[in-house]
Amino acid sequence: MLKTRHIMVKHVVTAKQNITIKKAIEMMFKRHVGAIVVIDDKRKCTGIFTERDAIRVVAQEIPLDTPLKEVMTRKVVTVSDDTSFEEFRRLLISHRIRHLPVVDSEQKLVGLVVVRHFLDEFFGMKS
């Protein structure tokens, strides 16, 4: 049975909540990612900042020197590495998200399910 651990990205781009929006967007651009998982000092997921958040920030003319904690998505949906394909698929669809942080039993970040990576792998569209 396909589980989250089989398709998650293990090298997740992370940041602390006090960096600026500009720095976060620069990180996303340089690392070619669609999301940054915001973590605390114990690697616990406290938020996520995605391309959609970046578009919202620009559309609402929020200053780019604003700390990420003021614009990140705080209610982050997470799963364990043992979550079944059907369960994480249901979560992605029901929450209309494309990035799903994977956490261990202590809620520490261990990976990220990225819809784009899954589709690239499934369709053989490696970039």
Strand partners, 99: 114
- pLDDT tens digits for range 21-47: 999 999 999 999 999 999 999 999 999
Give residue 116's identity as a one-letter amino acid code.
R
The CA distance from 78 to 71, in Å, is 19
Q: What is the pLDDT of residue 16?
A: 97
Instruction: State the pTM of this model.
Output: 0.88
- Per-domain residue ranges of the chain: 4-123
| Residue 47: strand, helix, or coil | strand
CATH 3.20.20.150 applies to domain 4-123: no
Other Cβ atoms less than 10 A from the Cβ of 63: the count is 10
* Average pLDDT of the residues in 50-74: 96
Give the mean pLDDT of the chain. 91
